[in-house]
Structure 1
Amino acid sequence: MQFRMQEMMAKGLKSTIKEDLDVSGLFEGRIDVISTSPLHISLEVVGHDGFITADGELSADLVLACSRCLEPTKAHTVIPFFEQFKPASKGDPEEDTGEDEDSDFVEVEADKLDLKPYVEEALQLFMPFAPLCDGKCKGLCQSCGQNLNERTCDCNNERVDPRFASLKDLFKD
């Protein structure tokens, strides 16, 4: 997924990327990501006069820990991907106007454009924040740790504000 920027921009070249990328190394040490399939990349990279665009989508199948009960849950993630790249400016102080008029572009220092870091970053940004095994997941008991989806426990989870604790016995018969 490397391209020569000057050549693509000068000739207006177009390239299609359809490949799988192993991203298991990105999630080493994370306990919320149990496993991941290779990231399927489907992009079209086009050279224009002065910039390059990469447009398409990324997809992956993930097995994540449910944020409530910690059971494994499968998630299929489809990520829209669009980036524009341009060569870095030479740093001429007379050209610096103080405005960032090209803020939609990613400046690339070298002539070679490697899309791999941008693709990996997109996957990490679009990871589900709080995956759920089911919308009605009851989670774990906060006292004993029992999975409340499997069975209920006998723990008393009633919380009484300590300022009103003496009033709870007021209306007992």
Structure 2
Amino acid sequence: MRINVKELIAKGKPVHLQESMDLSGLLGGRQDLLSFGELKADLSARADGEVAVVEGTLTLHVTMECSRCLGPAEERLTVPFRESFTMEPASADSGGEQDELHQITEDFAELTPYVEEAVWMALPFVPLCKEDCKGLCPECGTNRNERECGCSTERIDPRLAGLADLFKDTTEDP
């Protein structure tokens, strides 16, 4: 996926890009991804002076492993996308704006690496199958979303566990 920056700036007419991308090379090796669909990119490019601005949304359906119950967590990612490109050399007075402006040396700007980066950063760090997922029982491993296991949920700080045993001995003696 690429745009002709030189032509876009010269004509000053916006360009609409709608493409699908296969992300198998990018996401194929991830262990936490159970499946993923094709990326749909709906972008528009416009000239802003000597800068080409590409913005829009990226949409991707992913199925990941829930971080609590290990079941499938399906999510439709809608990722905002905005990148700016210029053919002009960097100037010293541009300051912080330069960090967001990509200088290119040819007529075309290749968008694929920027799209891939946006998708990579948008993947959930802690995917959940649902907001109130109860997870797995730490004692028996039962999925608490499906049924209750009956295991004790009382938590005792391991540093104080010895004190709990001390109090049991004094209450049992008559």
TM-score normalised according to structure 1 size: 0.83
- 1:61-82 per-residue CA deviation (whole Å, 9 max, x = no partner) reads 1111111111012101111111
Match of 2:130 in 1: 134
* Residues 1:72 and 2:68 aligned together: no
- How many pairs are equivalent? 169
1:110 alignment partner, one of 100, 106, 109: 106
Say if 2:75 is the partner of 1:59.
no
Distance in 2 of aligned mates of 1:46 and 1:4? 11
Gaps of 5+ in 2: none
In structure 2, what is the equivalent of residue 7 of structure 1?
7
Over 3 Å counting, the alpha-carbon distance change for 1:162 and 1:16 in structure 2 is: closer
Q: What is the CA–CA distance in structure 1 between the aligned matches of 2:66 and 2:16, rounded to whole Å? A: 36
Alignment partners' CA distance in 2, 1:129 and 1:4: 35
Residue 50 of structure 2 corresponds to 50
Gaps of 5+ in 1: none
Cα distance in 1 between the residues matched to 2:155 and 2:97: 55
Residue 124 of structure 2 is aligned to residue 122 of structure 1:
no
Q: Residue 162 of structure 2 corresponds to which residue in structure 1?
A: 166
Cα deviation 1:31-71 (Å, max 9, x = unaligned): 21111111111111113331101111111111111111110
Residues in 2 aligned to 1:100 and 1:167: alpha-carbon distance in whole angstroms: 59
TM-score scaled by length of structure 2? 0.83
Structure 1, 3-12 or 144-153: larger mean CA deviation: 144-153
Structure having the higher helix fraction is: 2
Give the RMSD, CA atoms, in angstroms. 2.4
